Structure 1
């Protein structure tokens, strides 16, 4: 079973969930705002992904903009970014 973190009010998440359902892919859907992944879970996902940790941020989200993260992330290391991501599912 696939773990699927999502924000049900976000259209892209709903489309992804529909695609998974349409393709009979069993998922454990977890509301990312109500149950954000821990720092350790995020580290595992980050390491397996091969992506830059910055790709895990919702750069179009209000919270990202409110916190001014576009500039602040440049000065953060990976551990700090993972901790920040774990602190708020809207990021």
Structure 2
């Protein structure tokens, strides 16, 4: 099962959901306001994408924590704890398909076309 972590009012998330529905791709929607990816899910995505790419670098929480200046001082473990603790730090949407080892962050249709081949 594919899991889509999103914010209901996010226009990028809406485009991602529309893409999934138009291509009859089944998925479970999870609001980042209610639940964040697990530590193991973040580690899987991070291994595929790199840890910094998971962060919503334009978000208020990222700025409030002064992560632009301090990100390089964080250990991987500290960064993962921040992401698990606060969904507003996560770039959205995040699609996790552990079965097929597909992890997508943000929505770019050309990148998401990989799902059509699975």
**TM-score, scaled to structure 2:** 0.71
Hey, what does 1:40 align to over in structure 2? 40
Cross-structure match for 1:28: 28
1:21-52 CA distances to partner (integer Å, 9 max, x unpaired)? Answer: 111100011111211112222112222x2x22
**Higher share in strand:** 2
Match of 1:84 in 2: 82
* Residue-by-residue CA offset, 1:61-91 (whole Å, 9 max, x unaligned): 1111111111111101111111111110000
Structure 2, unaligned runs of 5 or more: 90-118
Tell me which residue corresponds to 1:74: 72
Q: Give structure 1 stretches of 5+ with no counterpart.
A: none
Distance 1:77 1:24 in 2: 39
RMSD: 1.1
Instruction: Tell me the equivalent position of 2:53.
Output: 55
Normalising by the residue count of structure 1, what TM-score does the alignment of the two structures yield?
Answer: 0.90
Counterparts of 1:19 and 1:7 in 2: how far apart (Å)?
16
